[in-house]
């Protein structure tokens, strides 16, 4: 049996909503971990305790990806017998010293009792166990305010206790689902998956929207976006990816609008498709991977022209970052290797040779009026493909081996009509 103590930081700040946030985090943890078998998730004194019997390393890798978890510790079971507790404390402390190159100088024992049927109270247990460690390691000192290491002891009912020492870093942030749904525009590039991740960490639930210009853009670039969303599903219990056929829209813009305005108009039409879908998903904002000045379409003028087509707030979590910083994040969250596969998400036949750098909204709207917007958008929305990604353990431990990819069915395909 594994026992794991989960700590969450920001949740504690949420006052009256605290219960709601905790329950949501517990629901997410249950959903993620239930893929590994049965799991008990309970709340004890402002922490969450998990009990399961799955492989410990798999359990740890699942927990590392769940937003809302600040850090967690693997706990070891014992009884109420002080002798067995002290044996465990010494054993864990020795293991900790062996595993860590930088040796701690100070420590603290923190005891909590949810059952009062031990002869000693919490402080007495902490003092006694501190003494045991000092006997074994006289070079160490107790520091109650800022210790290098904390040993946790919890006394539970029915002659059970748990002891833990090390902390494993979690994602931090807020549980996914606590902030509402956003439509996250995802391309096959480096930036947009990072943008979606940032918003997930703030509790948003992204519904991914991808515009695919088949047959001008190949199947591989579609698969790349599916792989990206599959990877991002490690962070949230379920994901939805909507793939919108974009070729007819791009053809119409190329035929009817001024060449230099094309990119801005494509982007505006992406928002207009988003507008047609937002109610179905109760979306409250859009998310993009844009950063000021990164490319021609991302000057302040052009951002203003594109976002004028939206009625929802446009969230751009990467707006002030440079490419190197975004790349670092992409590596950290694990999307970089997928994003750099060489399958392009935009076709050169649709790109203007000299794009407008400083779009003027009135002129763009005037140019866009040459299109039959209602019909183009209705046709695109009518033909969307909707993929539901379930958080499956085989996705989480998916290897990028080619055979593996062919045998893998990471998503359930459903089509719904509007
Ligand atoms: P990325 O690396 O995310 O592709 P980028 O630097 O290549 O970004 P652009 O291609 O101009 O920049 O795209 C800016 C943003 O517009 C993207 O971050 C994404 O949110 C959205 N976007 C671009 N292309 C698509 C697409 N085909 N489908 C959905 N969203 C898109
Ligand atoms: Mg791109």
Q: Which residue has the tokens 């599916």?
A: 226
Which of 184, 192, 263 to mutate for ligand 1's pocket (most ligand atoms within 8 Å of CB)?
A: 192
Q: Enter the tokens of residue 100.
A: 């860590």
**Nearest atom in ligand 1 to 346's CA:** 27
State how far the Cα of 16 lies from the Cα of 172, in Å rounded to an integer.
20
**β 71-78/160-164 pair status:** antiparallel
State how far the Cα of 375 lies from the Cα of 393, in Å rounded to an integer.
42
- Among residues 165, 348, 185, the alpha carbon closest in space to that of 254 is found at 348
Q: How close is the Cα of 204 to the center of ligand 1, in Å?
A: 19
- Among residues 264, 310, 315, the alpha carbon closest in space to that of 290 is found at 315
Q: Whose CA is nearest to atom 9 of ligand 1?
A: 290
Q: How close is the Cα of 225 to the center of ligand 1, in Å?
A: 12
Query: Does any ligand 1 atom lie closer than 6 A to the CB of residue 289?
Result: yes
The pLDDT of residue 407 is 37
Query: Does any ligand 1 atom lie closer than 6 A to the CB of residue 307?
Result: no
Domain 181-414 -> CATH class: alpha beta
Of the listed ligands, the closest to the CA of 291 is: 1
State how far the Cα of 170 lies from the Cα of 417, in Å rounded to an integer.
39
Q: Whose CA is nearest to atom 12 of ligand 1?
A: 290
Query: Does any ligand 1 atom lie closer than 6 A to the CB of residue 288?
Result: yes
Q: Which residue has the tokens 């974009």?
A: 246
Q: Whose CA is nearest to atom 23 of ligand 1?
A: 187
Of the listed ligands, the closest to the CA of 247 is: 1
pLDDT (tens place) for every residue of the chain, 418 residues total? 999 999 987 665 667 788 889 999 999 999 999 988 999 999 887 789 999 999 998 899 899 999 999 999 999 999 999 999 999 999 999 999 998 888 899 999 999 998 888 899 999 999 999 999 999 999 999 999 999 999 999 998 889 899 999 889 999 999 999 999 999 999 999 999 999 999 999 999 999 999 999 888 888 999 999 999 988 988 987 899 999 999 999 999 999 999 999 999 999 999 999 999 999 999 999 999 999 987 877 999 999 999 999 999 999 999 999 999 999 999 999 999 999 998 777 767 888 889 999 999 999 999 999 999 999 999 999 999 999 887 655 444 333 333 333 333 333 344 433 3
Q: Looking at the domain 2-169, which fold is it? A: VC0802-like (3.30.2130)
Query: Does any ligand 1 atom lie closer than 6 A to the CB of residue 297?
Result: yes
Q: Enter the tokens of residue 162.
A: 């748990």
Whole-structure pTM value = 0.87
Query: Does any ligand 1 atom lie closer than 6 A to the CB of residue 190?
Result: yes
Q: How close is the Cα of 121 to the center of ligand 1, in Å?
A: 59
What own/partner pairs with CB < 8 Å and gap ≥ 24 does 124-128 have? Answer: 125/82, 125/85, 125/153, 125/155, 126/153, 128/82, 128/86
**Nearest atom in ligand 1 to 326's CA:** 2
Q: Give me the residue spans of the domains in the chain.
A: 2-169, 181-414
Query: Does any ligand 1 atom lie closer than 6 A to the CB of residue 122?
Result: no
Q: What are the residues whose beta carbon lies below 5 Å from ligand 2 (ion)?
A: 187, 189
**Alpha helix locations (H) across 80-235?**
82-99, 122-136, 191-201, 219-232
Query: Does any ligand 1 atom lie closer than 6 A to the CB of residue 213?
Result: no
């Amino acid at each position: 049996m594994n026992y794991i103590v989960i700590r969450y930081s920001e949740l504690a700040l949420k006052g009256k909503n605290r219960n709601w946030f905790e329950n949501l985090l517990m629901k997410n943890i249950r959903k993620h971990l239930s893929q590994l078998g049965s799991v008990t998730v309970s709340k004890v004194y402002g922490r969450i305790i998990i009990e399961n019997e799955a492989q410990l390393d798999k359990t740890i890798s699942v927990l590392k990806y769940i937003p809302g978890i600040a850090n967690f510790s693997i706990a070891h079971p014992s009884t109420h017998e002080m002798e067995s507790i002290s044996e465990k404390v010494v054993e864990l402390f020795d293991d900790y010293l062996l595993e860590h190159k930088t040796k701690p100088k100070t420590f603290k024992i923190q005891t909590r009792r949810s059952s009062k049927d031990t002869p000693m109270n919490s402080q007495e247990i902490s003092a006694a166990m501190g003494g045991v460690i000092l006997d074994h390691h006289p070079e160490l000192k107790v520091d109650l305010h800022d210790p290098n290491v904390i040993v946790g002891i919890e006394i539970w009912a029915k002659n059970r206790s748990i002891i833990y020492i090390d902390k494993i870093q979690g994602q931090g942030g807020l549980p996914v689902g606590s902030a509402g749904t956003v439509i996250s525009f995802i391309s096959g590039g480096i930036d947009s998956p990072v943008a979606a991740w940032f918003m997930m960490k703030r509790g948003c639930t992204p519904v991914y929207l991808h515009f695919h210009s088949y047959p001008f853009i190949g199947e591989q670039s579609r698969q790349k976006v599916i792989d990206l969303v599959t990877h991002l599903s490690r962070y949230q219990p379920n994901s939805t990816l909507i793939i919108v056929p974009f070729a007819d829209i791009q053809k119409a813009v190329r035929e009817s609008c001024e060449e230099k305005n094309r990119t801005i108009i494509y982007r505006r039409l992406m928002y207009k498709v988003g507008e047609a879908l937002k109610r179905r998903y109760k979306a409250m904002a859009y998310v993009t991977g844009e950063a000021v000045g990164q490319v021609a379409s991302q000057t302040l003028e052009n951002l203003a022209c594109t976002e004028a087509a939206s009625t929802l707030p446009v969230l751009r979590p990467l707006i002030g970052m440079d490419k190197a910083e975004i790349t670092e994040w992409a590596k950290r969250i694990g999307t970089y290797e997928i994003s750099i596969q060489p399958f392009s998400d935009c076709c050169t036949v649709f790109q203007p040779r000299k794009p407008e750098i400083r779009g003027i909204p009135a002129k763009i709207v005037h140019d866009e009026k040459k299109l039959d917007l209602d019909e183009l958008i209705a046709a695109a929305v009518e033909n969307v493909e909707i993929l539901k990604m379930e958080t499956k353990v085989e996705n989480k431990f998916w290897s990028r081996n080619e055979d593996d990819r062919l045998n893998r069915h990471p998503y359930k395909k459903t089509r719904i009509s509007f």
